[in-house]
Amino acid sequence: MKKLMIIFSRDYGLILRYYSNSDMKIIGGEDLFYTHEIEIIFRDVFFVSLPMEWKTNTKKTVFELLEGENAKKINILYKVEQGYYILKFAPEDYQKEFGCLIAAKTIEYTLIK
């Protein structure tokens, strides 16, 4: 399983900011009431399974890129078309097995600060 390495210097809250025309933006930061410090944009989203707002322990891997048998199981279950990346993550306050999923063709991120 490959890791999507976005390393934060402290724990962040993450929130689904918008979903429109198959694009989804997640923002993250220490205090999302005032501003955010990272934007993660998923383009051509096939499906998502996640809470609308969550905290993540950034000292651990935040997102995992599924490959091999793990990806095959999700592909079959959700009938994911070829060419999509499937990312899995576990919010801090949930069991590791909970596993939120995002399937998208491209992933971009921008550091704001």
Choice among 10-14, 37-41, 60-64, 105-109 with the minimum mean pLDDT: 10-14
Average pLDDT rounded to a whole number, residues 60-77: 86
Which residues, including other chains, have CB under 8 Å from residue 103's CB and lie 6 or more apart? Answer: 45, 46, 47, 48, 74, 78, 80, 84, 85, 86, 87
Counted residue by residue, the chain has a size of: 113
- Regarding pTM above 0.85, the answer is no
Average pLDDT rounded to a whole number, residues 2-29: 70
Q: Which domain holds residue 103?
A: 2-111
- In the chain, the number of structural domains is 1
Contact 46, 23 (CB under 8 A): no
Choice among 15-19, 23-27, 48-52, 58-62 with the minimum mean pLDDT: 58-62
The confidence band for 93, taking pLDDT boundaries of 50, 70 and 90, is confident
More confidently predicted of 54 and 70: 70
